Amino acid sequence: MSIVKQRQLLGLVVLGALCITGCMMPSKLSEPPDLRVPEGFAAMDGKEGRVISRQLLFTDPALVTLLDTAVRQNPDAYIALHRIEAARSQLRIRKGALLPALEAAGSASVQRYGDYTMEGVGNFDTNLSGNIDENQKVPLPHVPSYFIGLRSSWEIDLWGKLRSQKEAAFMRLLGTEQARNLVITTLVAEVSARYYELQALDEELEILKHNLSLQDSAVRIAEVQKEAGRATQLAIQQFEAQLLRTRSLLLQTEQRILRTENELNALLGRFPQPVVRSSRLLQQPLPGEFSAGLPRAILDRRPDVLQAELELRASRADVAAARAAFLPALSLNPFAGYSAFSGSLLFDPGSLVYGIAGSAVAPLVNRSAVKGNHSRAEAERMEAFYRYRKTVLGAFSEVQSTLNDLEKLRQIDSLNRQETIVLAAAVTTSNELFRVGYASYLDVITAQRNALDAQINQVETRRNLFVSLISLYRATGGGW
């Protein structure tokens, strides 16, 4: 058969395999339409405010120092960095698959061919030929074989399978970078929340100490009143019980401070130690109104949304690669080097050998593995699509809820301040009336307890307000 006919036959075989496999490719699942992003947030209707940012929100020098430390030293941040490196290495692997592989090769072997084999008869007959010299005679009966040279293999990416795999790896690399941004954003929120918790506990500790002083005075007044016959032992016991209760609350607060400091130090990537904090919580000015910005911009800022989108794009590339696996794969395998059956002649110019081999392989029968890989890729694509949709919906819901929380907390904070002022005056009034006998010890105890509860509520509301501001910063993209 002539070379031309051989090439024609090979072309027909490849074309036939392409037609058969092309007709047998599975259909592609369609994705539901994208979500329609709302134009604004209901909580911001008719309101104006500055878009929340790091510069506007983080004005406490002590908190900024802690956040810088956390970003540098937190173990989760380092874990995220190494995941990026792993994804970058995977991308290099996929890029390398597009290029020819070149490797040095060397081999040495010896073999005895049977007298009644084609090789054995051929070697015997060759040695009897008068057309060869002594160096070309085959050493018998044990025939050595030596080779040294270069071999290459190259899968030609006709259908984009390798390019799709590279694209998927690139999308996942970008996704790991967004995953690190998410780790940093979450870390900033957690460190800030612990910091404001510490400030709130400091405030509560001072409030409890002040109330201990007031309650101790109430005990002494009750004792004086008893001596004057204007109070009973029951009144003294009630005042002492309240004093003991407040001392217990003070110890519990000190315990919570130590526990919160330990939690914060763990986030900072260091062993337990005192945490420096600046001004007291109630002394910090309340920030003005903040806006979440345009809803569409959240899709470009939130790392979890961006990560979910990149994973969706990667899964689409996986599907493209899985579909391309149904088509014939064309490979070229060239080689060049020196080969001889005598080591002394290995590097002789006459020992130079080279060649090239090509192959086209297409799955025709028993394609379960290829079909299964495609089905898995399609399922993962749809999973990524709905995970992306869920992330987008959750992002907008989180922003909306946080804006509502901020609005209500501002109102609650204003009411708490008024309540604290009124109840502080009530404590003074009850003490004065108790001294002159116009109020009972129960009135004093009730007034002190209500004032203490109101002061602690005010601190907790202020803490929740600052934590909600941090939550809004995180919900709208965060970062550091």
332-342 pLDDT per residue, tens: 999 999 999 99
pLDDT higher than 70, residue 22: no
Q: What is the dihedral of CA 14, 16, 19, 23, to 10 degrees?
A: -120
Burial 56-75 (b: 16+ CB within 10 A, else e): ebbebeebeebbebbbeebe
> CA-CA distance, 477 to 393, in Å (whole number)?
15
**What's the chain's average pLDDT?**
90
The residue extents of the domains of the chain are 28-98+159-327+367-475, 100-156+328-361
Kindly state the DSSP code that residue 238 receives in the 8-state scheme.
H
Q: Give the pLDDT confidence of 26-54 residue by residue, as tens digits.
A: 766 677 777 777 777 765 554 555 778 89
Q: Give the pLDDT confidence of 301-352 residue by residue, as tens digits.
A: 999 999 999 999 999 999 999 999 999 999 999 999 999 999 889 999 999 9
- The CATH code belonging to domain 100-156+328-361 is 2.20.200.10
Locus of tokens 């040695």: 127
Q: Give the pLDDT confidence of 403-416 residue by residue, as tens digits.
A: 999 999 999 999 99
Judge if 28-98+159-327+367-475 and 100-156+328-361 fold alike in CATH terms.
Answer: no
Name 52's Cβ contacts closer than 8 Å, sequence gap at least 6.
290, 291, 292, 293, 469, 472, 473, 476
- Residues 261 and 443 sit within 8 Å (Cβ to Cβ): no
pTM over 0.95: no
- The CATH code belonging to domain 28-98+159-327+367-475 is 1.20.1600.10
